[in-house]
Amino acid sequence: MLKHLRKSYYSAGAAISAGLVLASNSAHATDGGGGNNFGDISRNVTESIADVPGLISALSYLFGILLGVLGIMKIKDHVENPTNTPLKDGAIRLAAGGALLALPIVFEAMFETVGQGEAVAPATLNRVEFNVQ
């Protein structure tokens, strides 16, 4: 039974993935006809990763709160039964949660110290030559 369920799960996943890939119309690197060049691809990558710092901050806050709550629960377990649950388990979770909560602030201070810099446009590739004789 489990083998049949796993097989149908994999086939459904493959069908959904293939459908998403084939139905995607926005995966082109250019606005109109023409082929892809390095400048268009690098520009798309640069625009696509612009929201990654916000995602990292959100995940950091989320996992920081999660680890903080888990740390408090482990400390509660230690208070109820100190022989089975060591105090270090809760303390480690609380420290890791605090570090994750502080991570976006540290990143912002680091970027402000180093400086954001100017937006850099991708280099244009005009011609490629190979010395073939």
**Helix, strand, coil share (%) of the chain residues, nearest 5:** 70, 0, 30
How many Å separate Cα 36 from the centre of its chain?
Answer: 26
What are the helix and strand counts (H, E) for the chain?
Answer: 4, 0
Q: Over the chain (133 residues), what is each successive 10-residue block's mean pLDDT?
A: 66 70 53 64 78 86 95 94 92 95 88 66 70 66
Distance, CA of 53 to CA of 60 (rounded, Å): 10
Give the pLDDT of residue 39. 76
Distance, CA of 132 to CA of 112 (rounded, Å): 49
Residue 44 phi/psi, 5-degree rounding, is -65, -40
Q: Where are the domains of the chain?
A: 52-117
Q: What is the 3-state secondary structure (H, E, C) of 13-34?
A: HHHHHHHHHHHCCCCCCCCCCC
Give the pLDDT of residue 123. 67
Give CA separation, 30 vs 21, 38, 50, 57, 63, in Å: 18, 11, 19, 31, 37
Closest C-alpha among 62, 60, 45 to residue 108: 60
Give the pLDDT of residue 76. 94
